[in-house]
Structure 1
Amino acid sequence: MPEKKRGPMKLSEIGTSKPSPAKPRATQDRPTPAAPEKNYQTRPKPRPKQVIQAEDSPNPAQDLLAKAQQLRAQKPTNDLDFEAPDTLDQERQAEVDANIQSGTITLIEVQKKNKKRFNIYLNGQFAFGISENTLVKFALHKGQELDTDFVKDLKEVDKADYAYQLAVRFLSHQLRSEKEVRDKLKDEDIEPAVIETAIEKLQAVELIDDTVYGQSYTRTAMNINKKGPKMIERELKNKGLNDEEISQSIAEYDQDVMHENALDIAEKYFQKQLRKASHRNAIQKTKQYLVQKGYDSDLIQELMRQLSEDNEDEDQEMAVLLKDLEKYMRRYQKLKDKDRTFKVKGMLYNKGYSSELINQAIETFEENDY
């Protein structure tokens, strides 16, 4: 019987229709297979195969060892007696070097990293590099014949020119002493003889003059860094200047400027120390600082007397003392009162406070119950 066609579903039927139940699948009871019994019997170990080796069979390791021992026994005791078969003998090597260092210029090209240096090719092979000055001085050109002696002289001149140009660039930033220029050239692995030639040339054109350098250095240190004369002397000595050159340089230091510089440094440093130390300690530390800056002891004593008289402020010193007293009282609070007071007094006295001022501070401390 043909299946009856069904028309479109009505709105009232939405959600009311039930799906037809699925037909249950027929199942059969299958017996569960029994687990196989474990056999804990150990299998017998296989017997090792017997390897039968002939008595006269070759052993590669023993053969190599024997050969090594033979070669070691044959090694010459003196390395000079040993000749490598692939190396050239000395005469042939010298001949090859001579061919490279002499011949016809086949190419002159500018170096890639330094446009002021040129590569010279002899007989189609690179031979050496030279500077632009050396190239112009010897008027080198393509097709020119060069012998070994000429190339040797050419290289010596080029080394001197290279050292000279290096020193000129070093001097272009600021004045330098002769010792500084020498040290720079040594750091660049320039030969000592070449350094001497470069120094003589620099002195001839007055690019190196230690007296002029020392005077300029003194003026800069005096006006900008406010260094004292003794400090400048030490620094010029480290720069390689001799005693006469140093004396002429220090003569540039104006006495009035020296007094103004020392007073300015002393006032600033002294006020800074007064904010955290006793009056006596502030004076002592300021003296030490002026000595380090290179000023004369007589000038320092004069300045410190003036500063001490102008800055006698007991209230300020008492305020600093009370801060130190409170700090030490907290540090030694585990001690008994008598022991703590004795310990703190010693600490404050070592910091430069007077005994009278310390006793006043302790009374103030106890009254206010810090």
Structure 2
Amino acid sequence: MDNLITKVELQKRNKNRVNIYVNEEFLFACSAEIIYRYNLKAGKNIDIPIIEKIIEEDNYIKCKNDSLRFMERSFKTEKQIYDKLLGKGYDNKTIEKVINSLKEYNLIDDSKYVEMYIKEKSKSEGKNKIKYSLLQKGIDENIVRQKLENMDSNIEAEALVKIAENKYNQLVKREEDKRKLYKKLGDFLIRKGYSFDDIKPILNKLINNNDW
């Protein structure tokens, strides 16, 4: 049976890539450059094994280049890179091959990413919010938990006091009712990711004038 190209279709998300249909069925996706280089068009017979080998290598190179461009401005998680490449139309096999290559060169390291993220965010957010954000980025929960356990508690405590005092000074200008002030400040700090056990003594100090 002939392997007849029946349709060459530009991808909607990435106009530089096309979908190739052979005998009315989707066969593979590749860069538009391959189409022009090998004159692939509807109505033409192709040698599938040869074309697939060319396309596989081409996809890998372009996928890797896209991943490096995506990473050049900031460190990314494995899931962020995976989702980005998937959105560009690359297949799972090619993406996994690229990700494994990036890991070999330590260009992807979720453990290091978590350390950097915690160091940056611990100045303005509590553990709960940091944990949620990292899990949303696709980081393994065991990595997140381990790194948060090693988080400097003094830095977190100092940040909490500073954030609480700044917010209190804003709220007290327009709220005189202590109970409402207590609730508003407490809710704000919980949204920032701090636990109520850590928040309570600070609320008592700022609003009820209790000692630390």
Moved over 6 A (4+): none
Counterpart pick for 1:231 among 119, 126, 129? 129
SS at match of 2:38: strand
Q: Structure 2: how far apart are the matches of 1:221 and 1:208?
A: 20
Q: Is the 8 A contact 1:211 1:248 kept in 2?
A: no
Q: Structure 1: how far apart are the matches of 2:34 and 2:86?
A: 27
Q: Structure 2: how far apart are the matches of 1:292 and 1:206?
A: 34
CA deviations 1:104-125 (Å, max 9, x no partner) are: xxxxxxxxx9xxx99679xxx8
Q: Structure 2: how far apart are the matches of 1:119 and 1:295?
A: 52
Counterpart pick for 2:38 among 127, 151, 158? 127
Q: CA deviation at 1:248?
A: 2.7
Tell whether 2:160 aligns with 1:249. no
Tell whether 2:103 aligns with 1:203. yes
Question: Which position in structure 1 is the counterpart of 2:64?
Answer: 164
Structure-to-structure mapping, 1:26-175, within 5 angstroms: 91=2, 94=4, 126-127=37-38, 149-175=49-75
Q: Structure 1: how far apart are the matches of 2:198 and 2:129?
A: 15
Q: Structure 2: how far apart are the matches of 1:179 and 1:148?
A: 32
Q: CA deviation at 1:207?
A: 1.0
Counterpart pick for 1:293 among 169, 174, 192? 192
* AA aligned opposite 1:283: Y
Counterpart pick for 2:122 among 210, 222, 227? 222
Q: Per the alignment, do residues 157 and 309 of structure 1 end up closer, same or farther by CA in structure 2, a change over 3 Å counting?
A: same
Q: Per the alignment, do residues 194 and 208 of structure 1 end up closer, same or farther by CA in structure 2, a change over 3 Å counting?
A: same
Q: Structure 2: how far apart are the matches of 1:238 and 1:185?
A: 18
Q: CA deviation at 1:197?
A: 1.1
Q: Structure 2: how far apart are the matches of 1:149 and 1:229?
A: 52
CA deviations 1:108-155 (Å, max 9, x no partner) are: xxxxx9xxx99679xxx84169xxxxxxxxxxxxxxxxx874443222
Question: Which position in structure 1 is the counterpart of 2:172?
Answer: 274
Question: Which position in structure 2 is the counterpart of 1:143?
Answer: none
Question: Which position in structure 2 is the counterpart of 1:367?
Answer: none
SS at match of 1:167: helix
* AA aligned opposite 1:204: E
Aligned length: 179
Q: Structure 2: how far apart are the matches of 1:119 and 1:254?
A: 51
Q: CA deviation at 1:252?
A: 4.6
Q: TM-score, normalised by structure 1?
A: 0.44
Q: Percent identity?
A: 23
Tell whether 2:212 aligns with 1:212. no
Q: CA deviation at 1:310?
A: 3.8
Q: Structure 1: how far apart are the matches of 2:183 and 2:48?
A: 72
Higher radius of gyration, 1 or 2? 1
Tell whether 2:93 aligns with 1:184. no
Q: CA RMSD in A?
A: 2.7
Q: CA deviation at 1:209?
A: 1.2
Give the structure, 1 or 2, with the largest relative contact order (CA under 8 Å, sep 6 or more).
2
Q: Structure 2: how far apart are the matches of 1:196 and 1:162?
A: 14
SS at match of 1:284: helix
Q: TM-score, normalised by structure 2?
A: 0.75
Q: CA deviation at 1:181?
A: 0.6
Q: Structure 2: how far apart are the matches of 1:188 and 1:148?
A: 23
Q: Is the 8 A contact 1:177 1:240 kept in 2?
A: yes
Q: Structure 1: how far apart are the matches of 2:162 and 2:179?
A: 20
Q: CA deviation at 1:299?
A: 1.2
CA deviations 1:192-225 (Å, max 9, x no partner) are: 11111111111111111111111111111113xx
Q: Structure 2: how far apart are the matches of 1:162 and 1:168?
A: 10
Q: Is the 8 A contact 1:215 1:252 kept in 2?
A: no
Q: Per the alignment, do residues 151 and 246 of structure 1 end up closer, same or farther by CA in structure 2, a change over 3 Å counting?
A: same
